[in-house]
Amino acid sequence: MRLVLLGPPGAGKGTQAAILSEKLGVPHISTGDLFRKNIGEGTPLGVEAKGYIDAGKLVPTDVTARMVESRLAEDDAVDGFLLDGFPRTVEQADLLTEILRKKDVALDGVVQFKVSEDVVVERMLARGRADDNEDTIRTRMKVYRDETAPLIDHYGDKIIAIEAEGSVEEINERTMTALGK
């Protein structure tokens, strides 16, 4: 399956993606994880991305889309993938459609994790990542509302909405059911 996972920061996309990846047998491709790996290794891409990530802002689309395209070209992503954190804007969604069109494939669906803002802030403060301080969280929530939430309308009937409050297992079961698995 070729799926995009959509939801505000702190919605639990990464946690669900790891479980779904195992159950569905497709790789979990997280742009945030790819950036953090590059930052850890001190690559030019990491150096370029770090300032944006620390500020809670989006890394420029050309850099991000190139990173995603090369990851999707790897062997393990040929038959399916879970994209976590990309696309984050309508512009990125159009680029993704183009990347997939070149491969003659398309998305099967876009899983939208629905969760209230209170729960999201609570979860983010609990995980304690470097970019999880209160100012950055507020910026990322605003970026989500302004830039990413419009993707819900953009994807229209490709959206598979999941109520994402509750235990990790409950949310996973709801997702598997919604995917017909």
Q: Does 162 bind ligand AMP (CB under 6 A)?
A: no
Q: Helix, strand or coil for residue 131?
A: coil
The answer to whether the annotation marks 58 as part of a ligand binding site is yes
x/- contact string, 24-43, with ligand AMP (CB under 6 A)?
-------xx--x--------
Nearer to ligand AMP, 127 or 177 (CB): 127
d(CA 78, CA 82): 12
Phi, psi of 159, deg, nearest 5:
-75, 130
**Beta strand pairing status for 109-114 and 2-6?**
parallel
Of residues 107, 105, 104, 120, the one with CA closest to residue 159: 107
Q: Does 85 bind ligand AMP (CB under 6 A)?
A: yes
Q: Which two tokens stand for residue 33?
A: 């994880």
Q: Say how many C-beta atoms besides its own lie within 10 A of residue 28's C-beta.
A: 20
Q: Which stretch binds ligand AMP (CB under 6 A): 56-64, 74-82, 95-103, 165-173?
A: 56-64
Q: Does 59 bind ligand AMP (CB under 6 A)?
A: yes
x/- contact string, 106-145, with ligand AMP (CB under 6 A)?
----------------------------------x-----
d(CA 85, CA 28): 11
d(CA 80, CA 60): 26
The answer to whether the annotation marks 129 as part of a ligand binding site is yes
Residues near ligand AMP (CB under 6 A) = 9, 31-32, 35, 52-53, 56-59, 64, 85-86, 88, 92, 140
Per the annotation, binding residues for AMP are 31, 36, 57-59, 85-88, 92, 129, 140
